[in-house]
Amino acid sequence: MAAPLSADRLLSALRAEGLTVVEVPGWRTRNRNHMGPWGPAHGVMIHHTVTRGTAHTVAMCRDGYQGLPGPLCHGVIAKDGTVHLVGNGRANHAGLGDPDVLRAVIAERPAPVDDEATVDGNRAFYGFECENLGDGLDPWPAIQLEAIERVGAAVCRAHGWGALSVIGHLEWQPGKPDPHGFTMGGMRDRIAGRLGQGQPAPPPAPVRPKVSLSQLVAAARSNPSMPGQPVTYAGVLVYETALVDEGLLTKSYRDGHFGTATITATSLWQERLGYRGRKPGQPADGIPGRDSVTRLGAKRGFDVVA
């Protein structure tokens, strides 16, 4: 836990670590502090941008886009290793995440598998977006990976943190894939080496997420009639991720809201298992049942509880 670095201290920390830093005009006062608190700071979060082209990427992270105002991070790490500072304060980058992961970061111990999205990460984490398409094909130049290492080490050194204070978005919020193309464990090893701390402890054995059938059913019955896209049960995101992996749900609907698209995808999964409606030709109803959810979890890595 620490007070966030001032703009001058953040800039000095990055440059002292040997990084080339570009100060994007207005970065010192660009933030989302009017939407909530910034701090205490607990760690650094790494993302990929799903964009190509440094100028476009920096502009997007500075200004945001429809539905998500900027800044979307504190700094953009370009392909050439340059760090473009776009914000100072609260930024729209982390979203809601797992409280167990936050506790692990604070304690500087290996984080558990993220299976909840209930804690404000924009308050607690510095965010750095890395210019990459995130498709597993777009390369990560060595100079960019070194810059990510240096950024993580710079912020940790300034706060007196260890490498376990640096996590990826995919370790914070269920369903997030970023960064894709290198492992956060390997990056933490590099940061630990730069800090002279040796390698972090190995991560714990994976823990399978648990999905409550009763809460899943309640979401399926109530969510479609609700205005907007409320998330009434975080386990829906785990369930929707499995449906996406089965090719039954479009990724854009993997949002934690058990809406009509998720109902339809559930119906398709039930039909794949041989379930139909009560009348001939009637499709399955799309309301999760114990057998269909248990079989989906067995195939896609989650357990079903009451």
Question: What is the assigned CATH class of domain 7-195?
Answer: alpha beta
Report the interhelical angle of 290-300 vs 260-272 (nearest 10°): 90
Where along the chain do the CATH 3.40.80.10 domains lie?
7-195
pLDDT along the chain (306 residues), means of 10: 92 98 98 96 97 96 94 98 98 96 94 92 98 93 97 97 97 94 95 82 66 96 93 92 92 92 95 83 88 94 92
**Secondary structure element (H or E) that encloses residue 275, with its range:** none
Q: Which residue has the tokens 């990560």?
A: 140
- The two structure tokens encoding residue 36: 């909530």
Gyration radius of the chain's alpha carbons = 21
pLDDT at site 197: 80
Distance from C-alpha of 23 to C-alpha of 301, rounded to nearest angstrom: 44
252 neighbors 260 (Cβ within 8 angstroms): no
* Cα diameter, the chain: 72
pLDDT at site 200: 52
> pTM for the complete prediction?
0.68
